[in-house]
Chains A and B, each alone.
Chain A
Amino acid sequence: MDRGIELLKKVIQVANSSIGFEDRLQGILDLLVRKERIERAILFSIAPGEETLELKKISPRNISWDERSFHMVRTPIGDSLQNRRPLFIPRLNRKEHKALIKYPLFKGFTSLIALPVEDDNLLYGVLCLLSRQSLTPDTQQWELLDMVAREMAGIVRNSWVYTESKKRIAELSVLYQVGKVIGSTLELDDLIQRTVAITAQVINATGSALLILEKYSETVIVESEFGLVPALVKKKILKDILDQKGDYISSDDSTSPSRSQLGLPFKDEKTQGSGKSSRISSFMCITLNFKGPYRSRLCVYEKIALGGEPVSHFNKDDLSVLSTIGNIIASSLENALTFQKIEALARKNEWMVRNLSTLYQIDSAMMTKASLKDLPQIILEAITLKEGLGFNRAVLFLADEEKKILTPMAWSIQGESEKGLPNQNREGVAGNELSRYFVKQAAQIRNTRQETDQIVNDIKIPLTQESGILARTFLEGRPFLVDRVSEDPRVNKDLVKRLKLDSFASFPMYAKDKVIGVIEVDNFKDKRPITEQDLYLLTMLAHQAGLALETARLYAFIEKTNEELKVTRERLIESEKMVAIGEMASGLAHEIRNPLVSIGGFVRRLHKKFQDDDQVQSYFQVIINEVERLEKTLNEITDFSQDPREKYKDWDFNRIVEEALGLIQRELDEGKIVVQKKWGKVPKVFGDKRQLRHVFYNLFLNSCQAISQGGLLTVRTFLDKGPDRSWITCEVKDTGGGIPPEVLHNIFNPFFTTKTHGSGLGLSLVHKIVTRHNGQVDIDNRPGEGVAFLVKFPLAKDAQKYFGKIKIIGEENHETVNNR
């Protein structure tokens, strides 16, 4: 068999054997040296774009060399590679091959054959064959060597593919492991713990650390580590985040060009003194990219040396794996962060809903009983009952603005009255049941409590800054939370002692921007701390309480005022009735007086005439006395209706008319009468208020009776400006069909009436009073429609003059002034 075929057969056998790729290449080189009269065979590998060749394998194996790489550019080898053609140098010792000879491994050889190790696509390296003898390869040998080189190219390619697949599989495995870990939980804390652990594990690192920052505030929100991460490393990570550094590897390997740049090795300042070395020889850090407002870095340090290697450093593959991990966990972390946020929100919402519902119930309780007396207790029960806010004790202070002190209005202590809800399950308490419960408990307290709680009862807190937190709560209008009473110089020591306080909170109660009182809340029994959330709730409650108290206070005020008004109105009506009775009595009195005078007068004459008869005398005397008594009574009655002219004053005309209108409210309501009021701007009127009011009362009453089946009553005041004098005028108009013309002239006469009941004095009194006040009454009568009375009074300033004038005229000229 041909020697060449023999060699090729062996080469193919080696190439397809199951030994490692490196060994196969070595084996082929060895075959070439043994079989082809070649003394040295070298396989260089080449990376695309590189200018140097890296020595990969050499045969015979026992040769030692110093330099691994061979600068090939501008050498015949470089040219041959560029052209992808084999090179043959029969005589190396010639001058032009000086550069080749300089390479130690080529020294001492005569001939060189260089073959590109390539396949159809790629150039993997070069195979150099050297001999001390002069080589003279024939065509057949060239073909053989070319085939060997191609075979070697095949091995290298296979090795690449194999390595790449292995890497891919390793990466997939990493992805699988990481994926498994991050898929196993949604809890953020759990996830980050697992993340750092798996990262260190798959990268083969001693430790790893993860840091997430909130982007804008630059506060650390997540910090986790695996292994004992030196503080310095953590510092560096934080700095890298803030500097927004990219991904990098850093090692103290002498070959690493980036060593000085990244400041390795780290030295932990803390452990320096103890002599322990905390040198970190390798460090790798990547940025995690989030969509949300976060910045994050994942770092590993100190690669664990495997397989007896003295020191191991992170390489590009590690960085690529770390990046892959980073990409996967970033989104998971982000999801977990979002989840955590949502959870926190949900918790907060739940808390809010629960407490708002409690507040709502308390609110309803406050509204159901708007009595000022019960309300403070209801508020406090809501604070102390377990079904409410559940504090141990609450005291409500109200401010006495005049005395400038705070005094306790009510207090409540948990367990004082509690019997529990019929339905013990708080969640099961439906709707208003809870608010009713608060009200019930408050009522129970009121019924059972003895006013003996001197602890609270006689507290008086002066409203000055110096008298403690409660006073300040009122004065500054803000809540206070005192955690440790004993260490706080601001608190009132006496109060603390009396209430046995360790810690407490106080809240101002507002009503329309004004502080009206203070609520003190504490847990003096179970010492439970008062939280921020409690403060929040109680602040809201205190606000509500303030409003409720203010509402109740206003309500009470309105009720009281209403009551007073009612009484006043009744009194007014009473007094008007008295006037009417008086006027009527006066009319009757005149009728009675004449016969009485006759009787009395003649009896007196008889008494004089029969002076001798004692018995008759005594009879007469009885009659005289009785008549005198009757006359006296008559005088009293008529005096009542007298006009107290000396009491005349200036009055608000509109007000008098309106008061009179108020007196007939019942009649207006009963008759479904619509009242149209038009108050004009009129000057004061001069006169007796009671009589003036009586004028309008009578007119309104007259109108009401005319339109008792419903209608419109128009009341209008205005200033009637005449050419020589002005009148304060009130028009009282009804839609009662008017007055029959045949009786019109009679309507002001006393005892004239068209009604089946009524004294007939009403309009005569109107006339009498108006004329008495130097006024006049005009009538605009429209039969079939209605009637309008125009009541006119002189202006107060004119009237006073007029009255003054009358006196003078009366005294000097004895002139009668007819009151119209």
Chain B
Amino acid sequence: MKRLIIADDEEALQRLYKEEFEEEGYEVLLAGNGKEVISLLEDPKHLPDLIVMDIRMPEMNGIDTLRVIKEKYPHIPVILCSAYSEFKQDFSVWASDDYVVKSSDLTELKEAVKRHIKK
């Protein structure tokens, strides 16, 4: 079973993501900010196949977290999922593997996840 870490500071969204992706057959670990993501990663048994992460998060934001992840775990694909549609261009070409603008229709995100795990 493929494991995902999904990071978002909104609890409602965490729950939505978790339910939706578990229904899709993924194991979902949740994080409320960047720090929690990093600490999850430090435990090898939690190492995910893919990380979905918001940008604006308290304590440690998505950008800083992305830097750390790309440094330590360059093989783990990261999909940024943010409310900021205007950064889509920047991040998709700079650092992250994909950038999905948050939407109530999770189809796009699901497809992106499927695509990057396959690789």
- Residues of A bordering B, CB below 8 Å: 586, 589-590, 593-605, 624, 627-628, 631, 635, 638-639, 641-643, 645, 806-807, 810-811, 814-818
**At the interface, yes or no: B114 with Cβ under 8 Å from chain A?**
no
Contact across chains for B13 and A638 when beta carbons are under 8 A apart: no
A597, B104: Cβ atoms closer than 8 Å: yes
Residues of B within 8 Å of A815, CB to CB, are 70, 94-95
Which residues of B have CB within 8 Å of A814?
70, 74, 94-95
The listed residue (B56, B66, B103, B104) touching A816 by CB distance below 8 A is B66
The answer to whether A586 touches B16, judged by C-beta atoms less than 8 angstroms apart, is: no
| B46 CB-CB contact with A under 8 Å | no
Give the A-B contact count at a CB cut-off of 8 A: 83
Supposing A601-B13, A816-B63 touch, asked if A638 and B104 sit within 8 A by C-beta, the answer is no
- A594 with B83, Cβ < 8 A, contacts A601-B13, A628-B104 known: yes
Given contacts A628-B104, A815-B70, contact A641 B13 (CB under 8 A): no
> Is there contact, CB below 8 Å, between B85 and A642?
yes
Q: Which residues of B contact A642 (CB under 8 A)?
A: 85-86, 89
Assess whether B1 is interfacial by the CB under 8 Å rule.
no
28 of the cross-chain contacts (CB-CB < 8 Å) are A586-B86, A593-B83, A594-B13, A597-B103, A598-B12, A598-B13, A598-B16, A600-B105, A601-B13, A601-B104, A604-B105, A605-B16, A628-B104, A635-B101, A638-B86, A639-B86, A642-B85, A642-B86, A643-B89, A645-B89, A806-B94, A814-B74, A815-B94, A815-B95, A816-B70, A816-B94, A817-B94, A818-B63
Query: In the complex, what distance in Å separates the CA atom of A80 from the CA atom of B94?
Result: 156
Q: Assess whether A596 is in contact with B20, with CB atoms less than 8 Å apart.
A: no
Q: Which 10 A-B pairs have the closest CB atoms?
A: A600-B104, A593-B83, A598-B12, A601-B16, A810-B94, A638-B85, A590-B83, A816-B95, A642-B86, A601-B104
* Cβ–Cβ contact A598 & B10, under 8 A: yes
Q: Report B-chain residues with C-beta under 8 Å of the C-beta of A590.
A: 56, 83-84
In this complex, what residue of A is CB-closest to B85? A638
| A residues less than 8 Å from B101 (CB atoms) | 635
A-side contacts of B67, CB under 8 Å: 816
Closest partner residue, chain A, to B88 (CB atom): A642
B86 surroundings in chain A (CB, below 8 A): 586, 638-639, 641-643
- Taking the nearest CB of chain B, how far is it from the CB of A258, in angstroms? 124
* Contact flag A638-B16 (CB < 8 Å), given A816-B70, A816-B94: no
CB-CB nearest in chain A for B89: A645
Contact B10 A605 (CB under 8 A): no
CA of A631 to CA of B83, assembled, Å: 10
Partner of B104, one of A589, A603, A645: A603
Which residue of the partner chain B has the closest CB to A815?
A: B95
Task: Verify if B38 is at the interface (C-beta below 8 Å from A).
Answer: no
How far does the alpha carbon of A624 sit from the alpha carbon of B104 in the complex, in Å?
9
Query: Least Cβ distance of A105 to chain B in Å?
Result: 155
Q: How far is the CA of A816 from the CA of B94 in the complex (A)?
A: 6
A251 to B16, CA, bound (A): 149
Residues of chain A within 8 A (CB-CB) of B84 are 590, 638
Q: Indicate whether B41 reaches chain A with its CB closer than 8 angstroms.
A: no
Assess whether B102 is interfacial by the CB under 8 Å rule: yes
Q: Which A-chain residue is minimally distant from B68 (CB atoms)?
A: A816
Q: Known contacts being A596-B104, A600-B103, A605-B20, is A635 close to B85, with CB within 8 Å?
A: yes
In the assembled complex, B106 has its CB within 8 A of some CB on chain A: yes
Q: How far is the CB of A596 from chain B (nearest CB, A)?
A: 6
How distant is B84 from chain A, measured CB to nearest CB, in Å? 6
In chain A, what residue has the closest Cβ to B11?
A598
| A601-B20, A810-B94 as given contacts; A631 in contact with B85, CB under 8 Å | no
A811-B93 contact in complex given A638-B86, A816-B66, A816-B70, C-beta closer than 8 Å: yes
User: B12, B104, B106 — which one has the most chain A CB atoms within 10 A of its CB?
Assistant: B104
When chains A and B are docked, how far (Å) is the Cα of A635 from the Cα of B100? 12
Q: Which residues of B contact A600 (CB under 8 A)?
A: 103-105
Residues of A near B13 (CB, < 8 A) are 594, 597-598, 601
Give the residues in chain A near B106, CB-CB below 8 Å: 601, 604
Q: In chain B, what residue has the closest Cβ to A809?
A: B94
Residues of B within 8 A of A596 (CB): 104
Q: Are B16 and A593 in contact (CB-based, < 8 A)?
A: no
Whether A593 pairs with B95 at a CB distance below 8 angstroms is no
| Residues in chain B near residue A624, CB distance under 8 A | 104
Q: CB-defined interface of B13-37 with A at 8 Å, one 1/0 digit per residue?
A: 1001001100000000000000000
Cross-chain contact B104 with A594 (CB below 8 angstroms): no
Determine the chain A residues whose CB is within 8 A of the CB of B56 once the complex forms.
590
Q: Which of B63, B66, B105 has the most chain A CB within a 10 Å cutoff?
A: B105
Bound form: Cα–Cα A631–B102 in Å: 9
Query: Given that A593-B83, A818-B63 are known contacts, is A599 also in contact with B104, CB under 8 Å in the complex?
Result: yes
| Closest B residue, CB atoms, query A593 | B83
Q: What residue of chain B has the Cβ atom nearest to residue A604's Cβ?
A: B104
Contacts of A593 in B (CB 8 A): 83, 102
Residues 35-79 (chain B) with a chain A CB within 8 angstroms: 56, 63, 66-67, 70, 74
Contact (Cβ within 8 A) B10 A594: yes
In the complex, what distance in Å separates the CA atom of A810 from the CA atom of B85? Answer: 19
How far apart sit A810 and B102, CA to CA, in the bound complex (Å)? 23
Say how far A688's CB is from chain B's closest CB, in angstroms: 13
**What is the bound-complex CA distance between A589 and B104, given in angstroms?**
14
Roughly how many angstroms separate A597 CA and B20 CA in the complex, as a whole number? 13
Instruction: Note all chain B residues with C-beta closer than 8 A to A635.
Output: 85, 101
A328 to chain B minimum Cβ distance, whole angstroms, is 112
Chain B residue at minimal CB-CB distance from A600: B104
B119 CB, min distance to chain A CBs, angstroms: 14
Inside 8 A of B94's CB, which chain A residues have their CB? 806, 810, 814-817
Separation in Å of the A597 CB from the closest CB of chain B?
5
Known: A638-B84, A642-B85, A816-B70. A597 touches B102 (CB 8 A): yes
